[in-house]
């Protein structure tokens, strides 16, 4: 794959071998900035299909997201994607952010509704001059320019959705509005993802659905991830990892084995690639990319990075 900063995610993921992609969050301070850029530089040599940068809850990181994506677009060879959430913004403000992204050379946007600031499960109140659902943001972005748009998907249903069938219809509605691919909420066992993919295919849609995977490097990630995402914590995994509780290194080794097996199963099931929630670190993602053979091997490319 050759990269130019103007590539679209669709161009980059529509290839004949599985890819990997990485999600970052915008740093809050200089230390975070240095950590992020260390990770970006280490992952850049592995040629991820794209890297994305989240948009802070309630629109809190608007400037930092735009700045980070702009720097990735101008200072690296990477294909970048900015997340954008509708919450707390008027439609005019959203148009302004979309314009800033276009001016920064960003062609890919992940369109999200976002959660209410403070309590993600609190009452959703739309901005009086804003949007209600992500499908409207997809349509707004598509009307604003030649953007490639991705959306969120939920293997176990969005926490606000009463049932999976309705939730799948909402995802399909985002594809109908112009989204070209979806990335899922993190999950720990493959069945929910595979069933979601079947439901979307049965509805007649073939947009790629990319599994979002968080490397299980610590007990905290193991317990916090599902808590924040609404995905179940499988009992079999709790039992498998219980013997390593309290032993940081042993838990990491076992957790990474679990993550590797999950990715292997997904790839065997024909997923186009894996989107890693890397928490602005490069080591665990690099280990998984190496295990799964997801990086093209160039002479002189050293895959393993120092811890």
Ligand X SMILES: Cc1cc2nc3c(=O)[nH]c(=O)nc-3n(C[C@H](O)[C@H](O)[C@H](O)COP(=O)(O)OP(=O)(O)OC[C@H]3O[C@@H](n4cnc5c(N)ncnc54)[C@H](O)[C@@H]3O)c2cc1C
Residue 85 CA to residue 103 CA, distance in Å, equals 19
Residue 106 CA to residue 73 CA, distance in Å, equals 7
55 vs 251, beta carbon nearer ligand X: 55
Dihedral, CA atoms, 174, 175, 180, 184, nearest 10 degrees?
60
74 vs 166, beta carbon nearer ligand X: 166
Closest CB 169 distance from ligand X, rounded Å: 8
Closest CB 60 distance from ligand X, rounded Å: 8
110 vs 254, beta carbon nearer ligand X: 110
Tell me the CA distances in angstroms from 182 to 13, 150, 235, 258, one per residue in order: 12, 5, 28, 24
Closest CB 259 distance from ligand X, rounded Å: 17
Residue 25 CA to residue 280 CA, distance in Å, equals 7
**61-67 contacts at long range (C-beta below 8 A, 24 or more positions apart):** 61/25, 61/26, 62/97, 64/26, 64/27, 64/28, 65/26, 66/97, 66/100, 66/101, 66/104, 67/26
3 vs 161, beta carbon nearer ligand X: 161
* Rg (alpha carbons) of the chain, rounded to whole number: 19
120 vs 234, beta carbon nearer ligand X: 120
CA atoms within 13 A on the CB side of 244: 22
23 an active-site residue?
Answer: yes
Closest CB 300 distance from ligand X, rounded Å: 33
The dihedrals phi and psi of 174, each to the nearest 5 degrees, come to -70, -35
Name residues whose C-beta falls within 8 Å of residue 9's C-beta, 6 or more positions apart in sequence: 49, 50, 79, 81, 108, 148, 150, 180, 181
Q: Which of 23, 44, 180, 287 is catalytic?
A: 23
Closest CB 240 distance from ligand X, rounded Å: 25
170 vs 252, beta carbon nearer ligand X: 170
Q: Which residues of 253-272 are buried (b: 16+ CB within 10 A; e: fewer)?
A: ebbbebbbebbeebbeeebb
Q: Please, are residues 274 and 294 in contact by the beta-carbon 8 Å criterion?
A: yes
Residues in contact with ligand X by the rule CB under 6 A: 54-55, 57, 83, 85, 110, 112-115, 133-135, 152, 158, 160-161, 167, 170, 173-174, 183, 185, 212
H or E element at residue 84: strand 80-85
Residue 209 CA to residue 29 CA, distance in Å, equals 33
Closest CB 104 distance from ligand X, rounded Å: 17
Catalytic residues: 23
């Amino acid at each position: 794959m050759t990269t130019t900063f103007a590539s679209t995610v669709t161009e980059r993921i529509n290839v004949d071998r599985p890819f990997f992609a990485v999600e970052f969050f915008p740093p809050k301070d200089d230390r975070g900035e240095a950590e992020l850029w260390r990770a970006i530089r280490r992952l850049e040599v592995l040629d991820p299909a794209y890297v994305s940068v989240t948009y802070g809850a309630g629109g809190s990181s608007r400037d930092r997201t735009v700045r980070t994506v702009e720097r990735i677009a101008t200072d690296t060879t990477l294909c970048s994607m900015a997340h954008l959430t509708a919450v707390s913004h008027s439609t005019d403000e959203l148009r302004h952010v979309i314009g800033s992204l276009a001016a920064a050379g960003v062609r890919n946007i992940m369109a999200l509704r976002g959660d209410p600031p403070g309590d993600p499960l609190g009452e959703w109140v739309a901005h009086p001059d804003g949007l209600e659902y992500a499908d409207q943001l997809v349509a707004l972005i598509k009307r604003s320019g030649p953007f490639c748009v991705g959306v969120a998907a939920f293997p176990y249903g969005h926490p606000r959705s009463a049932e999976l069938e309705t939730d799948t219809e909402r995802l399909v509605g985002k594809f109908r509005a112009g989204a070209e691919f979806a990335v899922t909420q993190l999950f720990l066992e493959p069945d929910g993802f595979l069933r979601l993919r079947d439901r979307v295919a049965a509805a007649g849609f073939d947009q790629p659905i990319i599994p979002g995977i968080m490397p299980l490097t610590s007990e905290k990630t193991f317990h916090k991830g599902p808590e924040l995402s609404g995905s179940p914590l499988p009992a079999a995994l709790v039992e498998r990892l219980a013997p390593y509780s309290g032993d940081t290194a042993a838990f990491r080794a076992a957790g990474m084995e679990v993550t590797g097996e999950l990715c292997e199963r997904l790839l065997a099931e024909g997923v186009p690639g894996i989107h890693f929630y890397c928490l602005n670190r490069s080591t665990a993602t690099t280990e998984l990319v190496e295990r799964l053979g997801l990086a093209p091997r160039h002479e002189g490319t050293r895959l393993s990075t120092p811890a």
